[in-house]
Amino acid sequence: MKSIAALQAVVTATPFDGEPSNAELDAIECEMPLILAEVDLLDAEIKTLDRPATGLDERRIRRARNRVLAERRDLTNRVGAMLTDGAA
C-alpha cells in the first residue's frame, strides 16, 4: 500500500500562528466605521423580514444605506490620502 503523505518539502518557511499581523489589525481598525455601518444596515433589513415595512422602517433602512455610502466614501478618501501622502 502506498502512503499518501506529502513527498515535497513544506512550502512555507514559517508556520501560521493563527494571529493577524499588525498590518491586518490596522486595516481592520481603519475599516471599522464601515463595518459598523453595514451591521446597522443589516439589522434594519432583518427587522423587516417577518413583517411589512412601515414608514419608520423605510426611513431607518434609507438612513443606514446613506451611512454605509458615506463611510465607504470616507474610507476611500482616507486610503487615497494615505497613498498620495506616502508617494509624495
Q: What is the DSSP string of the chain?
A: ----S--SPPS-SS---SPPPHHHHHHHHHHHHHHHHHHHHHHHHHTTSSS---HHHHHHHHHHHHHHHHHHHHHHHHHHHHHHHHH-
- CA 74, 75, 81, 82 dihedral sign is positive
Instruction: Give residue 82's pLDDT.
Output: 82
pLDDT tens, residue by residue, 36-77: 999 999 999 999 999 999 999 999 999 999 999 999 999 999
